[in-house]
Structure 1
Amino acid sequence: MYVFGGFSKLYAQKNFIQRGIASYYTDRFDGRKTASGEIFDNRELVGSHKKLPFNTMVKVTNLANKRSVVVRINDRGPYAHGRIIDVSKSAANLIGLYATGTAKVLIQAVGRDGVVTKETPKKITPIPAKKITTIVNTNSKTTRASVEKDFKIGKTYDAVGFEKTPHGYGVQVAYFTTLASAKKQCSEVTGATNIQEVFIQVGWDNKKQRKIYRVMVGSFANKSASSLTQRQLRRGGFKGFLARHHLK
């Protein structure tokens, strides 16, 4: 335990930076126990590093396209020569790594235990509220939810915490177990596609007994109505599927 504490002091500092090759977990690792004792889930934003303490939040930037994602370290590795980090398939999709298999990356420790420090670059902060107010065909409430406990199960919000009531269907591009990751994804979707109608739908995972945050794009009556938005998302590097908004 003392050695692990030493690693914590050495590697979990906000100025820890490393360059090298990243790869991602294939589906055969899904459901396996990680070195931290957690069960690996390729849908979460997680990763492995040889020395960083478990639960360190690491920003991974693909140097080829400058796209970034923040993952939580919950495993040890990778052990392939020259590789410095493995990330989940969901994280790989966000930075264009899934298509190439490996990529040169810059990694930086930015927080601990699901919390990203304030020093995180401004470009990955949530979308300013003035942009979100351009959403059409939705009703909003003026009360803003600012922390995880304010985001209620069965409700839908924009990226800055205002409650919304989209109808029909949306394109689900990801889901997360932390609010910070969902907000970051909203910002990345809008930044890459210029789509403003991006929501956080709050649900509940009965199996794991915890909140989940689905990132939903648009509001459509049916699948065909979403085709243009889905093309925009694909051009921006995002994949998704049609899912129902919360019924009111």
Structure 2
Amino acid sequence: MVAVKYRARAAVTILLALLLGISFGCASKVPKTREGVTQSGKKRAKSKATQRPYVINGITYYPIPSAVGYVERGLASWYGEPFHGRKTSNGETYNMYGDTAAHKTLPMDTMLLVKNLENGRSTVVRINDRGPFVQERIIDLTYTKAKALGVVGKGTAKVEIVALGAQEPEEAPAVAVAPPAAGKPAQLAKPKAKPKKAPPIPDFDKGNFYVQVGAFVKIENARTLAKAFAKRGRDVIIQQYPAAGMNLYRVMIFASNSLAKAKQYEQQMKNEGFRYALLLAR
């Protein structure tokens, strides 16, 4: 009788131990997360490959997040063979007879007004590639666009580029062309693509214009440069923006409320050794 009670108690003890082990084991488990996915199940935003910093000939280029207010002057060139038919930086196939262009830092699909300052001709292009990586050159055009601007013969020309916005695809709704026959679905006409219109040219004559003189991974470096300009009596801001999964800090000096004066200050910064000084509007 005693042996039976002992066995019963032992069985109960073992059962309780197993239950406690199971409960503690479950409580100690932590939900696992996949790379790039938060515990809430939402995917982390990834920057586009064309927006990540890249290095060419030992120089690091930092694509800017927005082209709003972008104005720049410099040399335009063009490229044809042997690049015709190859892949551009955004994955498209390069067409030297198309309406595209290459720029070092502007976001892809930015629409630009390009004006030849030597003959007054203008045209509109869309950015889909990176380059040109030659000093003083700011944009590479297709053969067709270079011809329209009168650049083909000389090879280069002094131009001004003004950001107009980003190209967005237009969709037309499908329309039924005839009432459906009995028991048959309606036939839909293939939507006609709407003609693309060049966006209106904004007025950039007045505004708050800044010149970017540097972009840094470490904020300490940005602060050092900002303090140097502050000692010279300039209004300085440090702007943080994400790129390639990290934060960059760019130092921006207030230039003027006048576009003409701001361009003069941009050139002054380049003359002082800031080769990649960049005029921006806020």
Q: TM-score, normalised by structure 2?
A: 0.39
With normalisation by structure 1, the TM-score equals 0.44
* Greater gyration radius: 2
